[in-house]
Structure 1
Amino acid sequence: MKNFLPVTITKMSGAGNTFSLIDARKGSAWEDIEKHLGMTRANFAKLVCDRVLGVSTDGLLLIQSGGDGFDFVWDFYNNDGSTAEMCGNAARCAARFCYENLESSNPEKSTLKFKTGAGLVTAQILGDGKIRVRMPEARFIQERIELKTKSSSTEEFALVNTGVPHLVQKIHNIADATSLKEMAREARSHHDLRPSGANVTFYAEDSRGKIKAVTFERGVEDYTLACGTGAVAAALVYAKETSEKQVEVQMPGGLMQVVFLEGDSHPLMIGDAVFVGEFKYNLEVVG
């Protein structure tokens, strides 16, 4: 491994949700490096995302060559090496990364199509670091589900899928989520939701059309600063209750706007995507 150049990793943040991005297209430096890596992408993700031996991110996103109507294909891993079909914040970061780093030959192409585990995701560059993403279909799996937990007898949620499954619960004050972490940890892998489990998202109304939310994420196994699919999940449940078509969702790491279009089950999510830095990751740590 010492004969190979370090792999270039770009660290980005979407509302405080951080990702390591690698250009993994055909002909890239990564393509040669991976052949001699000696480990799976899942294990590499755990190393790269590590807070000591890595660049301390919530996930790893490898951008691969597109085709069949897609500009790019992505391969996404949480920081524990598990996979996720969709991540809204990663979608915004991927869009800006590809637009500014990989689409230099066509700078006027501001709409990009990604093939993800949840299907087609379309992102549009709005400028000033803002990205609008047409999310996967957002739907209710169960409008009301009760789960018995050790930490608090029975809890009631809405179970929705916004690219990945979310248990959503309305609470009085978002600060109350702190005391609900252990309940969320248990609900996230509840036996009634086997085998995949679900993220757990809490939300509280701030004012009409504005909510605050926080998500306990699978793979991270903790609250994250932001979760794009969690923002959409909370907005979906809130919109069902209030009939609001545009919902501002404030998460600990930043603000997102979710728009529900009439007759379209694919909501729009608008939020930021910022570059944190570029790293030359020394592969001696895996040698």
Structure 2
Amino acid sequence: MVPFRKMHGLGNDFVVLDARKGSVLDARRAALPITPARAAAIADRRRGIGCDQFIVMEPGTDGADVFMRIRNPDGSESGACGNATRCIASLVAEETGRDRVVVRTIAGDLPVERLPNGEGMDLWRADMGPARLGWRDVPLAREVDTLHLPIGRGPVADPAACSMGNPHATFFVPELDALPLAEIGPALEHDPIFPERANIGFVQVLTPEYIRLMVWERGAGLTLACGSGACAALVNAARRGLTGRRATVSLPGGDLVIEWREDGPGAGHVLMTGPVATAFTGEIDLGAYPA
């Protein structure tokens, strides 16, 4: 049996396994590897534990405190997950007693710091790195202006795109609640312009400092929150002149504060602030799931 944690950031939930040196999973990885099929089976909400992303903590090296491997519910690997980054940083901070942690992903290093708020729940601010705005960075299948993609479906069209370590497209709409997201989300995720598929955000701008967002996540579908999607939404809204470079992004699971730094240290980087929580802990028999 292998210990696991069920964590979430604003309802965006994760199964977290520890494969760092000396852990139970580390000792058993050769016999019970975490394959895409096994991760997908555990992420299944009816036959497994259920989660939006399956996370494995691996040893950090060369300045990183931990390596975070991210798998979507279909078993595919992702380069970024903002809410999971905060969750993993909080675990390492609890272990080490430090308020600043560096989480490494396949997309790069993400520094995270604890921000005590005096209300019994710490907030965590993650530096999600620079927003990547070139068409190859997203990536897109051909050269187009990432501020205006020539795609649409049903009532939505003309999104902006960027990469936050994973691909995002953001549609701006007058009324978020009127959209048939479960109908248009899958088609947009798989649009041919996205060779690696994409996370699809739908934004209603309420004020220049406050926007609503819902995200159809690549490989996961509709989720209660998406940290990297919130970062992309603010970046793309600011690029369109719809907001400033700092705003509260309201998701179905709660609010994140996003800032796209314009100058000074970290210029161009996107900062995301929000809470984390552990729902429960348990043990899992990995051998009961397909390899």
- Superposition TM-score, scaled by structure 2 size: 0.88
In the TM superposition, what are the counterparts of 1:124-163 in structure 2 within 5 Å? Answer: 124-127=113-116, 128-141=121-134, 142-147=146-151, 149=153, 151=154, 155-163=157-165
CA distance in 1, matches of 2:233, 2:48: 32
SS at match of 1:53: coil
What is residue 216 of structure 2 aligned with on the other side?
216
CA RMSD after TM alignment: 1.8
Please say if 1:62 is aligned against 2:66: no
Please say if 1:114 is aligned against 2:103: yes
Checking the alignment, whether the CA contact within 8 Å between 1:60 and 1:76 is kept in structure 2 is yes
The structure-2 alpha-carbon separation of the partners of 1:243 and 1:252, relative to structure 1 and needing over 3 Å to count, comes to closer
Match of 2:268 among 265, 269, 286: 265
Please say if 1:12 is aligned against 2:14: no
**One-letter identity of the residue aligned with 1:275:** T
CA distance in 1, matches of 2:91, 2:41: 22
Deviation, 1:148, is: 5.5
> 1 or 2, which has the higher helix percentage?
1
Deviation, 1:223, is: 1.1
SS at match of 1:172: coil
The structure-2 alpha-carbon separation of the partners of 1:203 and 1:50, relative to structure 1 and needing over 3 Å to count, comes to same
CA distance in 2, matches of 1:66, 1:56: 26
Match of 1:276 among 274, 279, 282: 279
Unpaired segments of 5 or more residues in structure 1?
1-5
SS at match of 2:7: strand
Deviation, 1:203, is: 0.4
Checking the alignment, whether the CA contact within 8 Å between 1:16 and 1:226 is kept in structure 2 is yes
SS at match of 1:139: coil
**One-letter identity of the residue aligned with 2:197:** G
CA distance in 1, matches of 2:261, 2:286: 46
**One-letter identity of the residue aligned with 2:103:** F
Please say if 1:29 is aligned against 2:29: no
What is residue 254 of structure 2 aligned with on the other side?
254
Deviation, 1:40, is: 4.3
Percent identity of the aligned residues?
Answer: 28
Checking the alignment, whether the CA contact within 8 Å between 1:140 and 1:158 is kept in structure 2 is no
Q: Deviations over 1:205-227 (max 9, x none)?
A: 1233100001101111x211100
> 1 or 2, which has the higher strand percentage?
1
CA distance in 2, matches of 1:259, 1:283: 40
In the TM superposition, what are the counterparts of 1:79-90 in structure 2 within 5 Å? Answer: 79-90=73-84
CA distance in 1, matches of 2:247, 2:133: 17
Unpaired segments of 5 or more residues in structure 2?
135-145
Q: Deviations over 1:245-265 (max 9, x none)?
A: 211000001100001222211
CA distance in 2, matches of 1:8, 1:180: 36
What is residue 239 of structure 1 aligned with on the other side?
238
Checking the alignment, whether the CA contact within 8 Å between 1:239 and 1:247 is kept in structure 2 is no
What is residue 200 of structure 1 aligned with on the other side?
200
Deviation, 1:204, is: 0.3
SS at match of 1:122: strand
CA distance in 2, matches of 1:138, 1:210: 20
Deviation, 1:284, is: 5.4
Checking the alignment, whether the CA contact within 8 Å between 2:57 and 2:67 is kept in structure 1 is yes
Checking the alignment, whether the CA contact within 8 Å between 2:209 and 2:243 is kept in structure 1 is no
In the TM superposition, what are the counterparts of 1:163-182 in structure 2 within 5 Å? Answer: 163-177=165-179, 179-182=180-183
Deviation, 1:129, is: 3.4
SS at match of 2:109: strand
Q: Deviations over 1:148-196 (max 9, x none)?
A: 65x56x821111112211111100112023x1432221111111222x0
What is residue 141 of structure 2 aligned with on the other side?
none
Please say if 1:183 is aligned against 2:172: no
CA distance in 2, matches of 1:27, 1:66: 13
